[in-house]
Amino acid sequence: MVVGNSVLGDLSSQLRVAFHRVQDWAYPDQVDRDAFRAYMKTPHDVGGEPDPPALFEDKEEEQWELNTFVTCEVLGWRGIWTSEERRRIGNVDLGRTNYLGLPYYGRWLWAIARCLVDKRHITLGELIERVGEVRDRYAGGIRGPLDAAPRTTGNTDAVARNRHHVDAIGKGDPQCFADTAGTPGFAVGDAVSVRELPTIFYTRTQEYLRGASGTVAKVSYESLAPEDEAFDREDQESEWFYIVRFRMADLWTAYTGPPNDTLQAEISERWLRPAV
Amino acid sequence: MTETDLDGSGHETHQHAGTAPMVEEVTDFEVLEIALRELAIEKGLFTAEDHRRYTEHVEQLEPAAGSRFVARAWLDPEFRRLALDDAVAASREMGIDWLHPTGFGTPSDFTAFEVLEDTPTLHHVIVCTLCSCYPRPILGMSPEWYRTPNYRRRIVRWPRQVLAEFGLYLPEDVEVRVEDSNSKHRFMVLPVRPDGTEGWSEEQLAEIVTRDCLIGVALPKPGVTSNAVRPVHPAVRPVTSD
């Protein structure tokens, strides 16, 4: 039975800035295991967090939102990053306050800026200057079309790019990793448990599944693990992924639905062990 | 956006219902977006033409492709088998190539697609608790509510309650199976063909397979050809197509 997120008000999902604390920066001996785990929790991992019902809404898309989405995808197309790097930067690295505070595509935009600076395609000084310039361009309001006006066209051959955007052509992803991970360790019908490894910086194995047991429903594909892909580690070995089926009643204490309700998620081999 | 008194100079203005006319002020997000795109093009990371081409690709995506896919699977047993066996190949038969437009697919959606077959005793609903993974090549852009932390937090733990909020009440003898789309597979629900559609054409059937049915928060019903009406948050400067 998973303890994390299984009771209302658990620290891991409910960590907030502690206004009642007089002192910032707790002393090391004041951070116990639970608090450490809560601080290290990746903010994108929200499954099972208590939240009251809300009105489900639609939203009209801003032009800059579409432009941002397309820029992210084109950066993937041209080998500047993989989408997993984008997810790590824009959904986790920016921290919980910004994750829950900024608009959805505001975080995609943040991720572009961070990637371009971190990977040394631009300097932070260049970005700051350009943002200032664009702001000044429209200082008196928008009087014409609102669009990018690049001054030059860069030499695309001089740019450092990943291997993936070439290797995957004609195959797709994850098909580009086919036949690289050997024999799958598990087969359909196998009983497996999700390992309770610590969370550090990034993962796609949800907290609410840690320690839970389920059954392999599908042997999916071979791929780099998200922990590697998110950090541009093309040098790492690929592994098998599995769709695992869990009983809801095994995931949540006091699950309120019928006992045969289920949930499936896709997990990499490193996170699985034969069920005990 | 700042409210500004007009000086009659003929500056481009935008009339908002119930408020004074305002000079359009650029937002911080727009400024950052423009700055980054300019720098990326100037540094040769990609070209303006790349950006334009990809935009065109995105703008032609729509959930109607998924609706037609389901309608055909209801009518054609061989296509249904292919859809459940190899949904990427089945998509290709419907004119959707998951390798487009880059030659290796859309970077965020990958090229592993799986169709989840509902039965009279099994109902699937899709979520991505970690971000907003969604089968864009066949359904287009995801709806806002699908991306919200609220939906992602609750559907994996209180699925029947959340589905009820969408107006979908499932009896206890129907197993609810939540698919957390947390890795490279993308998913679409193949609902049960409803009674009262005997003799219908593929076009007629496709009309009742709304996007909400393909995510699993609604069931197809004769006479219902659109998603439930929800409040729409308007954009300040919405997408304009040329």
In a domain, B232, yes or no: no
In a domain, B233, yes or no: no
pLDDT in tens, A30-73: 889 988 998 999 999 999 999 999 999 999 999 999 999 999 99
Count of structural domains, chain B:
2
In a domain, A25, yes or no: no
Q: Which chain A residues touch B61 with a CB distance below 8 Å?
A: none
Count of structural domains, chain A:
2
CB contact under 8 A, A127 and B145: no
Q: How confident is the model at residue A10 (pLDDT cuts 50, 70, 90)?
A: low
CB contact under 8 A, A66 and B55: yes
Mean pLDDT of A169-197: 98
Domain with residue B104: its CATH number is: 3.90.330.10
Residues B127 and B34 in one domain: no
DSSP, collapsed to helix, strand or coil, labels residue B239 as coil
| Total H helices, total E strands in chain B | 11, 7
Mean pLDDT of B170-199: 98
Q: How confident is the model at residue A17 (pLDDT cuts 50, 70, 90)?
A: low
Which of the 8 DSSP states describes residue A90?
I
Domain with residue A115: its CATH number is: 1.10.472.20
CB contact under 8 A, B153 and A151: no
In a domain, B149, yes or no: yes
Q: Which of A39, A104, A105, A242 is catalytic?
A: A104
Residues B101 and B127 in one domain: yes
Residues B45 and B128 in one domain: no
Which pLDDT score, from 0 to 100, does residue A2 have? 43
Closest CA to B71 of B209, B218, B166: B209
Which pLDDT score, from 0 to 100, does residue A210 have? 96
Q: What is the mean pLDDT of chain A?
A: 93
In a domain, A68, yes or no: yes
Q: Which chain A residues touch B30 with a CB distance below 8 Å?
A: 63-64, 146
Nearest CB to B44 within list A59, A155, A223: A155
Residues A128 and A185 in one domain: no
Residues B208 and B141 in one domain: yes
- Residue finishing a domain among A80, A111, A138: A138
Q: Residue A26 pLDDT > 90, yes or no?
A: no
In a domain, A164, yes or no: no
Nearest CB to B50 within list A55, A74, A121: A74
Contact between A31 and A24 (Cβ < 8 Å): no
Which of the 8 DSSP states describes residue A199?
P
Residues A186 and A268 in one domain: yes
In a domain, B40, yes or no: yes
Which of the 8 DSSP states describes residue A63?
H
Distance from CA of B28 to the nearest CA of A (A): 8
- Residue finishing a domain among A84, A111, A138: A138
Residues B68 and B48 in one domain: no
In a domain, A168, yes or no: no
Residues A116 and A180 in one domain: no
Q: Which residue of A has its CA nearest to B150?
A: A51
pLDDT in tens, B29-66: 999 999 999 999 999 999 999 999 999 999 999 999 99
In a domain, A160, yes or no: no
pLDDT in tens, B108-129: 999 999 999 999 999 999 999 9
Mean pLDDT of B131-142: 98
Q: Residue A145 pLDDT > 60, yes or no?
A: yes
Assess whether A104 carries a catalytic annotation. Answer: yes
Residues A266 and A184 in one domain: yes
Q: Which residue of B has its CA nearest to A158?
A: B44
In a domain, B206, yes or no: yes
Quote the Cα angle for A87-B57-B109, to 5°: 30
Residues B201 and B81 in one domain: yes
Quote the domain boundaries for residue B116: 64-215
Distance from CA of A22 to the nearest CA of B (A): 30
Backbone angles phi, psi at B178, to 5 degrees: -85, 130
In a domain, B221, yes or no: no
Q: Residue B15 pLDDT > 70, yes or no?
A: no
Which pLDDT score, from 0 to 100, does residue B107 have? 98
CB contact under 8 A, B110 and A100: no
Mean pLDDT of B136-154: 97
Which pLDDT score, from 0 to 100, does residue B2 have? 39
Residues B46 and B72 in one domain: no
Residues B75 and B146 in one domain: yes
Q: Which residue of A has its CA nearest to B49?
A: A74
Distance from CA of A88 to the nearest CA of B (A): 10
Which pLDDT score, from 0 to 100, does residue B13 have? 43
Residues B106 and B210 in one domain: yes
Residues B75 and B117 in one domain: yes
Residues A204 and A258 in one domain: yes
In a domain, B224, yes or no: no
Contact between A266 and B184 (Cβ < 8 Å): yes
Mean pLDDT of A197-205: 97
**In whole angstroms, what is the distance from residue A88 CA to residue A164 CA?**
18
Residues B23 and B74 in one domain: no
Residues A198 and A270 in one domain: yes
Name which of B5, B22, B55, B104 to mutate to probe chain A: the one with the most chain A Cβ atoms within 10 A of its Cβ: B104
Residues B98 and B42 in one domain: no
Mean pLDDT of A172-195: 98
Q: Which residue of A has its CA nearest to B184?
A: A174
Q: Residue A232 pLDDT > 50, yes or no?
A: yes
In a domain, A55, yes or no: no
Quote the domain boundaries for residue A220: 175-274
Count CB atoms within 10 A of the CB of residue A30: 10
CB contact under 8 A, B160 and A152: no
More confident residue, B226 or A3: B226
- Amino acid, res. A50: P
Domain with residue A202: its CATH number is: 2.30.30.50
